[in-house]
Amino acid sequence: MYQPKAEDKFTFGLWTIGNVGRDPFGAPVRGELSPAEIVRILGEVGAWGVNFHDNDLVPIDASPAEADKIKAEFKKALDDTGVVVPMATTNLFYDPVFRDGAFTSNDPKVRAYARQKTMRAMDLGAEFGAKVYVFWGGREGTETDAGKSALDAGKWFREALNFLCEYNIDQDYGYKFALEAKPNEPRGDIYLPTTGAMLGFITTLDHPEMVGVNPEVAHETMAGLNFMHAVAQAWDAGKLFHIDLNDQKIGRYDQDFRFGAENIKQSFFLVKFLEDVGYSSSRHFDAHAYRPADLADVKEFAKGCMRTYLILKEKAQQFKEDAEIQELLAEITADDGSMAPFFGKYSADKAKALKAHTFDRAAMAQRGQPYEKLDQLVFELLMGVR
Ligand code: GCO
Ligand code: MN
Ligand code: MN
């Protein structure tokens, strides 16, 4: 039961399984794993795919010979395990050169270098078959607005994406770009801090059809927002190209906990949404194990992410089949059809008829909406007592 299958499209980043447990207050607590070793672990726990930043695979200072060796070992591990590479991305945050941002740095040399690094990273991702390209601008922000224009920053980011879309076309890579928002951390404030902000920004690009979003549970939750609502908006816009699943307490630092570790009900509504609409891209776990975990526990962390998703998927199915729940839903959403003439496309006649209609406001305000009963049933369903 709850064994992951290829069609679940569960993926992990090299940086997730490979997370060494470093934090701002403490040194690494786990040994480094090579990319090939991580792929073998993913094969063992039953994941479908692995994603990487350019420098997760090839260190920033690697010689061409070193790069070739790492890539050959990685390729062999992929072939041996059947693990695939659906997504790639660029590390534009770790190296000191990006201390004031990449595409939005005030230094034109850094902005140009960020484009060069991204083109090379796109080449690397394409070499392994990646079709989604994520942009997470962790350093694209400020601590103080004294020295950087938010307007210029937006313009530079737009120009960079337009340039890279053309490169994608030029090379015939067929990437879809997925923009990942985060409100803060590591910068004091990060530009375009929410999925909604990204969706608005995408409409200003030269190739909006090529660009969508990669919403992350932890990031909207840090800001105290309802993640599933952001996902629904992205889905409605046809822009849900990728998703980063993990968990998080509201208002904290970016915790990137195991999927479902914190907010069981919200995780359930998210899985239910993705399954109801038929989301079919990667289900990527952008999370890492608790710092005290050893390698055996890292594997439990990875299995736990996938198992929780599958358990919640089963619960979503039960929700659909639960007669009492469905009855309540039918009651809450009941429609006697009497308002149909007022809906749909505008016409002057419709507007006139609607303005003239008399509503029984007092009766409408009394209609039952048993959300309490329904929510308790959801709770009981999730607790396994239904
Ligand atoms: C974070 C971010 C990152 C990005 C990753 C891919 O919380 O630090 O979510 O993990 O998703 O860098 O771009
Ligand atoms: Mn995160
Ligand atoms: Mn992420």
At 52-75, the pLDDT tens digits run: 999 999 999 999 999 999 999 999
Whether residue 177 sits in one domain with residue 75? yes
Whether residue 328 sits in one domain with residue 314? no
Question: Is 92 within a domain?
Answer: yes
Which is the closest atom of ligand 1 to the Cα of 90? Answer: 13
Question: Is 108 within a domain?
Answer: yes
Whether residue 335 sits in one domain with residue 215? no
At 304-350, the pLDDT tens digits run: 999 999 999 999 999 999 999 999 999 999 999 999 999 999 999 99
Which is the closest atom of ligand 1 to the Cα of 256? Answer: 7
Q: Kindly state if the Cβ of 89 falls inside 6 Å of ligand 1.
A: yes
Pocket test for ligand 1, best of 244, 255, 284, 288 (most atoms within 8 A of CB): 244
CA of 100 from ligand 1 middle (Å) equals 17
DSSP string, 104-143: T-S-HHHHHHHHHHHHHHHHHHHHTT--EEEEE-TTSEES
Q: Phi/psi of residue 83, each to 5°?
A: -70, 140
Whether residue 99 sits in one domain with residue 134? yes
Q: Kindly state if the Cβ of 14 falls inside 6 Å of ligand 1.
A: no
Nearest CA to ligand 1 atom 2: 136
Rg, Å, the chain Cα set: 23
pLDDT of residue 300: 98
Which is the closest atom of ligand 1 to the Cα of 218? Answer: 7
Which is the closest atom of ligand 1 to the Cα of 185? Answer: 8
pLDDT of residue 33: 98
Q: What is the mean pLDDT of residues 261-278?
A: 98
Q: How confident is the model at residue 294 (pLDDT cuts 50, 70, 90)?
A: very high
Q: What domain count does the chain have? A: 2
DSSP string, 38-58: HHHHHHHHT--EEEEEHHHHS
Structural domain including 271 reads 6-321
CA of 178 from ligand 2 middle (Å) equals 15
Whether residue 234 sits in one domain with residue 105? yes
Nearest CA to ligand 1 atom 3: 136
Q: Which ligand is nearest to the CA of 178?
A: 1
Question: Is 333 within a domain?
Answer: yes
pLDDT of residue 171: 98
Q: Kindly state if the Cβ of 54 falls inside 6 Å of ligand 1.
A: no
Whether residue 189 sits in one domain with residue 263? yes
Among 321, 356, 374, the domain-final residue is 321
Give dist(CA 386, CA 382) in Å, integer.
8
Nearest CA to ligand 1 atom 4: 136
pLDDT of residue 244: 98
Among 293, 321, 349, the domain-final residue is 321
Q: How confident is the model at residue 117 (pLDDT cuts 50, 70, 90)?
A: very high
pLDDT of residue 272: 98
Closest alpha carbon to 307 in 288, 285, 325, 328: 285
Of the candidates 56, 256, 286, 322, the residue annotated as catalytic is 56
Among 273, 295, 321, the domain-final residue is 321
At 33-48, the pLDDT tens digits run: 999 999 999 999 999 9
Q: How confident is the model at residue 241 (pLDDT cuts 50, 70, 90)?
A: very high
Q: How confident is the model at residue 13 (pLDDT cuts 50, 70, 90)?
A: very high
Whether residue 338 sits in one domain with residue 241? no
CA of 5 from ligand 1 middle (Å) equals 25
CA of 244 from ligand 1 middle (Å) equals 8
Q: What is the mean pLDDT of residues 247-267?
A: 97
Whether residue 112 sits in one domain with residue 156? yes
Question: Are residues 235 and 275 in contact, defined by beta-carbon separation less than 8 angstroms?
Answer: no
Q: How confident is the model at residue 111 (pLDDT cuts 50, 70, 90)?
A: very high
Q: Kindly state if the Cβ of 217 falls inside 6 Å of ligand 1.
A: no
Whether residue 289 sits in one domain with residue 236? yes
Question: Is 115 within a domain?
Answer: yes
CA of 138 from ligand 2 middle (Å) equals 10
Mean pLDDT of the chain: 98
Q: What does the DSSP 8-state code read for residue 6?
A: G
Pocket test for ligand 1, best of 12, 90, 94, 180 (most atoms within 8 A of CB): 180
pLDDT of residue 5: 98
Task: Specify whether 206 is catalytic.
Answer: no
Q: How does 150-162 read in b/e, with b if 16+ C-beta sit within 10 Å?
A: eeebbebbbebbe
Q: Kindly state if the Cβ of 247 falls inside 6 Å of ligand 1.
A: no
Question: Is 49 within a domain?
Answer: yes
Pocket test for ligand 1, best of 23, 198, 216 (most atoms within 8 A of CB): 216
CA of 179 from ligand 3 middle (Å) equals 10
CATH for 265: 3.20.20.150
pLDDT of residue 335: 96
Question: Is 1 within a domain?
Answer: no
Whether residue 354 sits in one domain with residue 265? no
DSSP string, 243-299: -EE-B--TTSS---BPTTSS-HHHHHHHHHHHHHHT--S-EEE-----TT--HHHHH
Whether residue 141 sits in one domain with residue 122? yes
Question: Is 310 within a domain?
Answer: yes
pLDDT of residue 345: 98
Whether residue 20 sits in one domain with residue 95? yes
Task: Specify whether 242 is catalytic.
Answer: no
Nearest CA to ligand 1 atom 10: 286
CA of 296 from ligand 3 middle (Å) equals 24
At 122-169, the pLDDT tens digits run: 999 999 999 999 999 999 999 999 999 999 999 999 999 999 999 999
Q: What is the mean pLDDT of residues 204-227?
A: 98
